[in-house]
Amino acid sequence: MAYKVKVTKEIDEALENIEEYCIEHFRNYDYAQKVLNEILRVASFLSGNAGNTPLYSKHLYKYISPYINYNFYYSIDEKNQIVFQKNACL
């Protein structure tokens, strides 16, 4: 079953910080692009695999990216079939 994936304000801000850090401190545009592409890949993955990753807390799931060193946290609204990406961190 495919779920809609919504990116919360927290992850949107985290993405901006990650991109800014990669570009300004490392001058590594390729890594910044890799991170952004991975965010999109994870959103696509979660759309079809919501709930198939470890439960991190009572209502929060955790997905560990195999491509970059980031953990993604998300919750699921089963009634409306929506996955909310909550956070991404090292």
Instruction: Specify the pLDDT at position 90.
Output: 62
Instruction: Specify the pLDDT at position 87.
Output: 72
Domains of the chain: 4-89 (3.30.2310.20)
Q: Is the C-alpha dihedral spanning 83, 70, 45, 29 positive or negative?
A: positive
* Positions in the chain whose pLDDT score sits under 50: none
The one-letter amino acid code at 44 reads: S
Instruction: Specify the pLDDT at position 26.
Output: 73
Instruction: Specify the pLDDT at position 9.
Output: 84
**Kind and range of the H or E run holding 18:** helix 9-26
CB of 48 closer than 8 Å to CB of 35: no
Instruction: Specify the pLDDT at position 1.
Output: 67
- Is the full-model pTM beyond 0.75? yes
